Amino acid sequence: MASARSTTAAVDQTAQHVSQASSSTWERITSWYGENKALAWTVAGVTVVVAGGSIYYLSQPPKASEQDKKAKKDRRKAAKAAKAEEGKAGTEKDTTAGAPKAAKAEEVAEEELPTVTEESVVSLSEQERKDYAAKLKAAGNKAYGSKDYNRAINLYGQAILCKADPVFYSNRAACWNALGNWQKVIEDTTAAVNLDPEYVKALNRRANAYEQDGKFSEALLDYTASCIIDQFRNDQSAQAVERLLKKVAESKARAIVEGKEKRLPSPTFVSNYLQSFRVRELPEGIKETDDLPEGSGLWNLRKGLQAIHTRTGEGYNEASQAFDKAVEAGGLGQHEAYAYNMRGTFRYLKGENEAALADLNKSIDLDPALVQSYVKRASMHLEQSNRDAAANDFEVAMQHNSTDPDIFYHRAQLHFILSEFSLAATDYQKSIDLDSSFIFSHIQLGVTQYKMGSIASSMATFRRCIKNFGDKSDVYNYYGELLLDQQKYQEAVEKFETAVEMERKSVGERGGMNVLPLINKALALFQWKQDFSAAEELCQKALIIDPECDIAVATMAQLLLQQGKVIDALKYFERAAELSRTEGEIVNALSYAEATRTQLEVQEKYPQLAAKLQGMGAGMGGPAMR
């Protein structure tokens, strides 16, 4: 049977859109976040956001204990009391959520209005200052109401000379806000917050100014603090947190992508990408036995194809360089299209999407009958969300060869990714009919049946797989994933263990070891028994074998967060961002990193809020949080 691990054949790399293996594990980790988030929001009884909330609740044990229930009740009570309190404070302090209002009762005739300067204020008595301040503020509010902002600014300024009141600063900030002077808004709201650290309106106003001024991290920090102070009761602030989290993550991701040295992702990723390709013999003219001049184009092409079989990071780097050199050296004759195809494949893996696309275009120009070039190009189009171009490439490939199982397999992958499961199942089946020896068509068919709700057919497909491909760890790994999804923990763990054992045994033959079964086992033990230490240990093992495995890193981050080890979790989220290949994945990892970091910063900056967070009952008292 042909196998991607065969040491004598070259890999025929018909493309795959995303590494199927990796993406399914990612998907599960992501939906794990998602589910926990939903839980958090229900528990807290609020509609929130990724940031603040996710952490409390993510650091809670998955199931609500009696204690949690009590905390929840207390929390509701506290929230109610706080709301009543706020209502009172609202009238005393400042008026509505929006602008300062003209207070009719305090309206002061123009001629009665005192004029206060830095010099004159010193001779005023305590009582006079208080009276003047009230009058000036009222006049300021009136001026604000009639949009006479410069006059209002002047009046609030005089009021401030009489009395350093946070409300006066905040109101003057509202004027600067109306004039679009963000720097002044920031100055005045900062003065207000220094006088009253829990002044939510001033915080929100400053946050808005920061955001307008492009200072997204600062805005995020203020909105997060404001959310915590008013216990997530203000939807607008909560939405702002979410919006800014995205902005911060996106802008940081852009910087990472631009500054990033283009290099291959982890061997686990590359292997999973490559192993779903049907195996191909080394083509005529570059067989092992052919005598090729060292350093020539053909010699490098063969070297690259052979290096792929090591399944190690080193081997993949060697292959990547060899394909570069093959194209540079030239003299490739009939294999020129194949060389461009392979260089493009490795450029794609490195995230150099434009250069990869150009290589595939060139390959197709040189040899329009090399169908796998269309298939690979389709995956690149798909990654750029260009579905029509992807579909068109499959169409053209079919015109060249309507009996190539690779085309059906990869078109099935396209359907699968677009959740068109019934079409996907048809194409996987066609691919199997044309060549039943390719294991991933069977595995994917089983996964697709599962997604369609045909659990029995899916399980039957996997049992057949075990019979026919019982020596392949992948069968057990994916079977285990589906069992885990059905919460058949015991069986799932057994399958993962079998897969791990098989991987371990085959390491000697072929270098790299696929760490996904280890990570899956970690997830299973965590979900089954909340066994953090066993799960962490397995992830660490995976990271020893493949230190750059982003899935292992992201799983570690989650496990740490669940235990309230926030500072450690942050490090892992940042590392996951570094290791991610696509901008979308980087944004995803950074959103969690930023949410975590902001939460820590808020607590450092506003130590009094730490108590509030604990009051919200959210397990923020983890060891790292003290």
Q: Contact residues for ligand NAG (CB under 6 A)?
A: 354, 357-358, 361, 401, 403-404
Which two three-digit tokens encode residue 599?
A: 């939460």
Q: Is 170 in a helix, a strand, or coil?
A: helix
Q: Which is nearer to ligand NAG, 30 or 401 (CB)?
A: 401
Q: Give the separation between CA 132 and CA 121, rounded to whole angstroms.
A: 10
CB of 264 to ligand NAG, least distance (A): 21
Residue placing its CB nearer to ligand NAG in the complex, 371 or 492: 371
Q: How wide is the angle at C-alpha 594 spanned by C-alphas 593 and 595, nearest 5°?
A: 95
What crossing angle do the helices spanning 405-417 and 371-383 adopt, rounded to 10°?
Answer: 10
Q: Are 551 and 271 in contact, with CB atoms under 8 Å apart? A: no
- Give least dist CB 279 to ligand NAG, A: 11
Helices assigned H by DSSP within 330-454: 336-349, 353-366, 371-383, 387-400, 405-417, 421-434, 439-451
What element of type H or E holds 465? Answer: helix 455-468
Q: Nearer to ligand NAG by C-beta: 357 or 499?
A: 357
- Cα–Cα distances in Å, from 119 out to 7, 166, 610? 90, 22, 42
Q: Which is nearer to ligand NAG, 361 or 457 (CB)?
A: 361
Q: Name which of 194 and 401 has its Cβ closer to ligand NAG.
A: 401
Q: Is residue 163 a contact partner of residue 129, using CB atoms and an 8 Å limit? A: yes
Min CB(370)–ligand NAG separation in Å: 10
Residue bearing tokens 């830095």: 118
Helices and strands counted in the chain (H then E): 30, 2
Indicate the residue among 181 and 361 with the shorter CB distance to ligand NAG: 361
Encoded amino acid at 179, one letter: L
Which residues are CB-neighbours of 488 under 8 A, at least 6 positions away?
A: none
Note whether 189 and 173 are within 8 A (CB): yes
Which residue do the tokens 């240990």 mark? 537
Residue 84 neighbours by CB distance under 10 Å: 10
Name residue 11's beta-bridge partners: 279
Smallest distance from ligand NAG to CB 357, Å: 4
Residues comprising the chain, all counted: 626
Residue 374 or 469: which CB sits closer to ligand NAG?
374
d(CA 485, CA 483): 5
For residue 503, the minimal CB distance to ligand NAG (Å) is 29
DSSP states of 93-106 as a string? S---SSS----GGG
Beta-carbon contacts of 14 under 8 Å, excluding residues fewer than 6 positions away, are 277, 278, 371, 372, 375, 376, 406, 407, 409, 410
Give 149 or 323: the residue with its C-beta nearer to ligand NAG: 323
User: What is the closest distance, in whole angstroms, from the C-beta atom of residue 238 to ligand NAG in the complex?
Assistant: 42
Q: How far is the CB of 437 from ligand NAG (least distance, A)?
A: 12
Burial code (b: 16+ CB inside 10 Å, e: under 16) for 557-588 equals: bbbbbbbbbbebbbbbbbbbbebbbeeebbbb
Beta carbon of residue 354, minimum distance to ligand NAG (angstroms, whole number): 5
Extract the tokens encoding 440. 């991933």
The token pair that represents 579 in the structure block: 């290791």
Q: Which is nearer to ligand NAG, 164 or 355 (CB)?
A: 355
Choice between 110 and 388, CB closer to ligand NAG: 388
Nearer to ligand NAG, 107 or 354 (CB): 354
Pair type for strands 10-11 and 279-280:
antiparallel
Within a 13 Å sphere around the CA of 619, how many CA atoms are in the beta-carbon half? 25
Q: Is the torsion defined by CA of 322, 324, 329, 334 positive or negative?
A: positive
Q: How far is the CB of 445 from ligand NAG (least distance, A)?
A: 19
**Shortest distance in whole angstroms from residue 288 CB to ligand NAG:** 22
CB closer to ligand NAG out of 286 and 364:
364
Which of 209, 210, 218, 219 is closest to 180 using CA atoms? 209
Q: What is the nearest approach in angstroms of ligand NAG to the Cβ of residue 359?
A: 9
Q: Smallest distance, Å, CB 342 to ligand NAG?
A: 17
Report angle CA 226, 82, 96 to the nearest 5 degrees: 60
**Crossing angle of the two packed helices 387-400 and 371-383, in degrees rounded to 10:** 170
Residue with tokens 């033959």: 509
Measured from the CB of residue 335, what is the shortest distance to ligand NAG in angstroms?
Answer: 17
SS3 103: coil
Q: Which is nearer to ligand NAG, 230 or 404 (CB)?
A: 404
Min dist. Cβ of residue 283 to ligand NAG (A): 13
Q: Which is nearer to ligand NAG, 53 or 344 (CB)?
A: 344
| Nearer Cβ to ligand NAG (370/522) | 370
Q: In the bound complex, what is the minimum distance in angstroms from residue 595's beta carbon to ligand NAG? A: 36
